[in-house]
Structure 1
């Protein structure tokens, strides 16, 4: 009953407070204007993360007892700090070094003060325990990388929120059934708060979460995924809820941001560009070029996310030696299929396009057509 009430409380706070924030931002013209790489067409309030984080903190203090709050005090403090980093960046843009500095302080609190870290490889490659310095370094880098990878998928109505709800929902269930209620309730509270936001962020979005929300949620997901990996890896073999491939299971949990970031960085580097240079080549952009709407893209990637969560259960008895190649190959197969379908769809659209685009298409076909030429010409690649 307490679990249900906690979820409902988090949802209702977010659901009831969001219209107030939207109204205030519209009144004072605190809006994200369309243009450039942005997909939306109307002035839309941003910084919906304010209500998400407010809902999380208020619900936590309402429903978690003192012992639970003390157990996750550094996590809550770091989560709040990441919120302020995102808020500052939304209000007055931070330089990359300033943003990284704030993120590093939050990661430091989690890794060194809360002692949430990847302690080993849990038998993979014959390595059970990592040297302490290496453990800290790998965890620190992983949290920063996953936080920013999640931030990159927040480019479409409902997408980041959908991925968040599914991941936090799984983590809430798992931490509760293995006897870690503090982290289970924290995950559940975030899931409920994001659900309240998602009602207003679904296409056509009435508000965006902004860096205020995406950095906070990405940070929470990254640290909880690290905790999930390490707890799994160090659990007794006879535990009924142990997944025998902790590393692969953690990657599967964050597969959407991990795959999207790896893919986009690889494409940019291959074209001689900085991996951090912006463009419209993210997975959600490609799905939209196939003709899918915002909501269908979010649903599609949500279903893919659920598929990888199902793989965690299906392969629970297998080690990382089996599951890591399976997870990686499955992601690459999905990605390859996506690219080929997108290319085919754009070719079809070009053939049926007005005369000017038709001439461009014919001109490209006067000589052997290579994939990069075509995709770049029709904006599948760099803008």
Structure 2
């Protein structure tokens, strides 16, 4: 009952508050204008993350009891800091330096709360990590995953759908294994994101902005770390929901955004460009150029994520030594396949589309015909 109330309250709160957020940000001119790297052709209000964050908080107010609030205090403070960072970035567009400093502050709070990657759980023969390495690795992973999710937010519905799949998976796993507080947080995220998607699905009425993408990406990164840690060290190996490959299972939760970012960075470095340079080389840009609509891109990549999570569940008895190379190899082949198919489709579209000069010539001929007297018209006497 507690779980149902949490997700429903978050969902309906999001549905009710999002129209007010749209009006508020539009009135204050916090909008995403077309042009440059933007795919959309109309001015769309941003900062939909305000509605998502409010919906999550309202859901948690009902779902969590006092003990849960105390246990989650560090996480909730850190998420609030990340939300405020995204809010400020949407308002004034912070420099990369200030954004990194803000993210480091939020991660520091998480580490103080002892949320960290403490072990490799036997992968490569490594178990417990030295404290310093544990803190560094956790901070690096959380900041990396947060920014990777931020970068995948490029077409209507994509970031929302990908995060929805992950939060739903985490909610089921945490609740089934007895981690009620983490399960309720995941369910509140499910309700908030689902309500947002009602306004962000193509054609979008609002974007989540950095207010939403940084907050959701940060939450997803934290919950993924908790999932890996709990699965690797605390859940019995005989439990039905235990994964013998905790690292690989955790990676599957952030698969699309993580590998898309890695793929783009490698391509930029290979071409002699800065790794963080803005361009249209993300996988959703490629799929759009292949002729897919926003909603089709979101569904395709959402299906990819669900497929890999299903693979992890099916092969849950295998270790990281087997599943991690299998996952990395499968994703690499999939990326190469999508690149090849997309490039072939783009070339086909280019061949079938008249060139600019041809279009201008045709328009000139049509204009000339419209302006000349008809041959059937009688000349004045």
Structure 1 residue aligned with 2:348: 348
1:135 aligns with 2:134: yes
Alignment partners' CA distance in 1, 2:77 and 2:126: 33
Alignment partners' CA distance in 2, 1:356 and 1:105: 51
TM value normalised by structure 2:
0.92
1:290 aligns with 2:290: yes
Residues 128-187 of structure 1: per-residue CA shift (max 9 Å, x gap): 111111111111100000000000001110000001111001101111111110011001
Alignment partners' CA distance in 2, 1:219 and 1:352: 43
Structure 1 residue aligned with 2:167: 168
Unaligned runs of 5+ in 1: 359-383
Give how far 1:357 is off.
Answer: 8.0
After superposition, residues 189-268 of structure 1 pair within 5 angstroms as 189-234=188-233, 235-268=235-268
Give how far 1:117 is off.
Answer: 1.0
Alignment partners' CA distance in 1, 2:65 and 2:345: 54
Residues 331-373 of structure 1: per-residue CA shift (max 9 Å, x gap): 1111011011011111211221214589xxxxxxxxxxxxxxx
Alignment partner of 1:135: what SS?
Answer: helix
The answer to whether the 8 Å contact 1:350/1:357 transfers is no
Give how far 1:236 is off.
Answer: 2.6
The answer to whether the 8 Å contact 1:247/1:320 transfers is yes
Give how far 1:93 is off.
Answer: 1.4
Structure 2 residue aligned with 1:157: 156
Alignment partners' CA distance in 2, 1:132 and 1:25: 44
Give how far 1:241 is off.
Answer: 1.5
Give how far 1:2 is off.
Answer: 2.0
The answer to whether the 8 Å contact 1:169/1:187 transfers is yes
The answer to whether the 8 Å contact 2:264/2:282 transfers is yes
Alignment partners' CA distance in 1, 2:333 and 2:2: 42
1:356/1:32 Cα in 2 relative to 1: closer, same or farther (>3 Å)? closer
Alignment partner of 2:273: what SS?
Answer: coil
Alignment partners' CA distance in 1, 2:278 and 2:28: 29
Give how far 1:76 is off.
Answer: 0.6
Give how far 1:324 is off.
Answer: 0.3
The answer to whether the 8 Å contact 2:30/2:90 transfers is no
The answer to whether the 8 Å contact 2:5/2:62 transfers is no
Structure 1 residue aligned with 2:92: 92
The answer to whether the 8 Å contact 1:232/1:246 transfers is yes
Alignment partners' CA distance in 2, 1:123 and 1:252: 19
Give how far 1:328 is off.
Answer: 0.5
Alignment partners' CA distance in 2, 1:87 and 1:251: 28
TM value normalised by structure 1:
0.91
Structure 2 residue aligned with 1:371: none
Give how far 1:37 is off.
Answer: 0.4
The answer to whether the 8 Å contact 1:83/1:213 transfers is yes
The answer to whether the 8 Å contact 2:47/2:207 transfers is yes
Give how far 1:62 is off.
Answer: 2.5
Find the structure with the greater CA-based Rg. Answer: 2
Alignment partners' CA distance in 2, 1:180 and 1:199: 29
Alignment partners' CA distance in 2, 1:162 and 1:354: 36
1:50 aligns with 2:44: no
Residues 76-120 of structure 1: per-residue CA shift (max 9 Å, x gap): 110100000000101011111110011011111112x22111111
Alignment partners' CA distance in 1, 2:355 and 2:88: 48
Give how far 1:58 is off.
Answer: 2.1
1:355/1:207 Cα in 2 relative to 1: closer, same or farther (>3 Å)? closer
Structure 2 residue aligned with 1:376: none
Where does structure 1 differ by over 3 angstroms across 4 or more consecutive aligned residues? 355-358
Structure 2 residue aligned with 1:117: 116
Structure 1 residue aligned with 2:145: 146
Structure 1 residue aligned with 2:273: 273
Alignment partners' CA distance in 2, 1:57 and 1:156: 26
Alignment partner of 1:119: what SS?
Answer: coil
Q: Which region of structure 1 is more displaced relative to structure 2, 128-137 or 274-283?
A: 128-137
Alignment partners' CA distance in 1, 2:333 and 2:170: 26
Structure 2 residue aligned with 1:72: 72
Structure 2 residue aligned with 1:27: 27
Structure 2 residue aligned with 1:377: none
